[in-house]
Structure 1
């Protein structure tokens, strides 16, 4: 009976199940067995097999020999890179990200607002030696405890920002960092400080050993927030005083990305929702 309830709690439509399988495999690069995918999505194994068979036939998923694990193919990544290339994001943004990485010696990431989510889409690594923080791209940012999330949220009315975080959920300190805000009061305090200074920063909030800072990118056409640019690195090197020193470089890069975004249909498009109230200037 419990198994039946678990299966019933999963996605029911074919499209929902297909997208669920793709997202699960994206988070497990080494692949998963059919039963593991079915259990994670709470759907019947027979339905999981049908979805996987279709994805294999269309070249998006492959199965290791002799009934092994299922893995994503490069076709998904190819689609993403094609989209970024056609949108102009890589050509326009990468030189700015690369320069900021060289000047700071840390990881630089570009995130785009996608409806009510913040997705990291490009990066440049400035740390050539020693400790490095270099996560995978394409993941959704946790708004409550990331510098990019705080930068974006600080441009909204506080009730709208808190509602967005409530829908996504607060990042727990066990899963993220020991200083991740756990209450609306703690989060609002950080958002107000970010709004006042014009950029956000977090200390051991997203991971236990990493600090980061971020500034918003605005469309010069609509004036709305379309993304963020961030600097991230080990907390022993990217200290709070160091982040304040790097703020002018970050804000300059954010302004350049805002101006360059006019040539990109993705960067200059409208962000999810109306964020005109409570907007703050980049510099």
Structure 2
């Protein structure tokens, strides 16, 4: 009788681990419940292997099912791990008083986010004091090219690095989103010149955002932004927000200098 080699067993374990991570990332990017057929179509795993993996993750609490037991979504264990990441992140902790002050100074929605591949992920938010305000939540993931946060961070990279990171054609989130990589690179040069980035309704219609990178690392990995409904934005208010962001950047850089 042949015995599986240690290398073969190890390869199988690695493959299983990769599939587990890919499956959890699938659910993280697609909120709600999904059928086995939907998941299989997206990930192309063998149906029997996928079913067994899903059942295991359900038993462990990483995946949940609906009342019928045939649809699947992200489980509460993932929330616990995500929360522990935020709670243990030193940059998030150092940023808290700066974000509080920025929110008070602007009375608008504030985001602190990190570049993760081609996306930005919200690590901390402060809600606007106004009734007309955008929906925000920690853990939200958005395409970097369609946000002021992402453009501010991409601008700390070289043109070639941006070309390696992003495809030639970019996803259109709204009708205003820049979808051509070379046009985006041209705008990133303007961001470098001015020191801040602007999202002109490129991610959410009716919303303008101003973002600035926090250069405690190079290239920068974190940025802060202020989101304002276009209806509430005047030239004077825009200048005030930019000034407040530059002040916040300096304070954040100082607070994170040891990281």
TM range (shorter): 0.7 to 0.9
Query: Hey, what's the Cα distance between the residues in 2 that align with 1:101 and 1:28?
Result: 30
Which structure has the larger Rg over C-alpha atoms? 2
How many residues are matched?
246
Query: Hey, what's the Cα distance between the residues in 2 that align with 1:119 and 1:157?
Result: 21
Query: Hey, what's the Cα distance between the residues in 2 that align with 1:96 and 1:147?
Result: 19
Normalised to the residue count of structure 1, the TM-score between the two structures is 0.77
Contact 1:143/1:165 (<8 A) preserved: no
Contact 1:214/1:231 (<8 A) preserved: yes
Q: Tell me: CA distance 1:63–1:116, structure 2 relative to 1, closer, same or farther (3 Å).
A: closer
How far is the alpha carbon of 1:246 from its aligned partner? 0.9
Contact 1:154/1:191 (<8 A) preserved: yes
Contact 1:109/1:122 (<8 A) preserved: yes
Contact 1:109/1:229 (<8 A) preserved: yes
1:78 matched to which residue of 2?
A: 80
Q: Which moved more, 1:81-90 or 1:243-252?
A: 81-90
How far is the alpha carbon of 1:203 from its aligned partner? 0.7
Match of 1:233 among 228, 236, 239: 228
> Does residue 206 of the first structure (1) align with residue 208 of the second (2)?
no
Normalised to the residue count of structure 2, the TM-score between the two structures is 0.83
How far is the alpha carbon of 1:52 from its aligned partner? 0.8
| Deviation string, structure 1 residues 30-89 (Cα, Å, up to 9, x no partner) | 322222222222323222211111212222112233424223222211112112212234
1:156 matched to which residue of 2?
A: 157
How far is the alpha carbon of 1:231 from its aligned partner? 1.0
> Does residue 193 of the first structure (1) align with residue 194 of the second (2)?
no
More helix per residue: 2
Contact 1:102/1:126 (<8 A) preserved: no
Structure 1 unmatched ranges of 5 or more: 1-11, 269-283
1:87 matched to which residue of 2?
A: 89
Contact 1:132/1:233 (<8 A) preserved: yes
Structure 2 unmatched ranges of 5 or more: 1-13
